[in-house]
Amino acid sequence: MQKGPSPLEIERKFLIRYPEVSWLADRQGSRCAELTQTYLRSDGHGSRRVRSWTESGKTVWYETSKRMVTDITREEIEREISEEEYLALLKEADPARHPIRKTRWCLPYEGHTLEIDLYPFWERQAVLECELESEDEVFAVPPELSILREVTGDPQYLNSSLARTIPAEDL
């Protein structure tokens, strides 16, 4: 794992109406990836997960540790790992959580990258996230996206919580 000061992830999260996938695909600069996140048994210092990220037919694997600093800011240590390391770490999966599968759309918009996660268990809503440089930074959302409410800091919308509460057959 990385040593020295931990990088900070400053992120706001919103529940949005399920967007038109054709609109997402037609946005200039948009990218689409298929993700699977598996939460690992806790080491007592925050959450740990492994993730497979498949984009344009290529898969990359990551190990990530996060620790909450505020509702908006987390310490995040992430590193790319080999497929072999990924498979070995899956043996440390938290038995109380199921793997989360989602389609992530990354959209550049007015100086930020918006990340929209579409989950197989939701047909009417999705999650929009935006990483920021500071907690009070302002950002814009395209008018084609309909925000239902902000869920930053709401524990029920953390992927680690969804992995615990959504039935495995729906994931």
Active-site amino acid positions: 39
The span from the CA of 88 to the CA of 91, in Å, is: 6
For residue 98, the one-letter residue type is H
Token pair for residue 20? 């038109």
DSSP string of 18-87?
A: PPPHHHHHHSTT-EEEEEEEEEBPP-SSSEEEEEEEEETTEEEEEEEEEEESSSSEEEEEEEEE-HHHHH
Question: Residue 156: CB partners within 8 Å, gap ≥ 6?
Answer: 165
Q: Using the structure block, give the residue that is written with the tokens 């990218």.
A: 31
